[in-house]
Amino acid sequence: MKYVLLEMDRILRPDGYTIIRETSYFIDAIASIAKGMRWGCRKEDTEYSVEKEKMLICQKKLWYSSSGQS
């Protein structure tokens, strides 16, 4: 799962969005990995409000290194 997220991070442009629809268990795991990659994430219910299924909406942030110049 983390390799898929890393590949998505490589492809996705800064400020780009991804929407992941999965069970609550996997959404929690994906959210913890995505937050480690400095993505902003929020969990939403599906259109039918099924308890087992959730949506995770993530936005890739543009971030800079703290060293200023190289």
| Tokens 């442009």, residue located | 13
pLDDT tens, N- to C-terminus, the chain (70 residues) = 889 999 999 999 999 999 999 998 999 999 999 999 999 999 999 887 777 899 999 999 987 777 765 5
Is beta strand 53-60 parallel, antiparallel or unpaired with respect to 17-23?
Answer: antiparallel
Structure confidence at residue 12 (pLDDT) = 93
Structure confidence at residue 22 (pLDDT) = 93
59: number of Cβ within 10 Å: 15
Structure confidence at residue 68 (pLDDT) = 60
Structure confidence at residue 48 (pLDDT) = 79
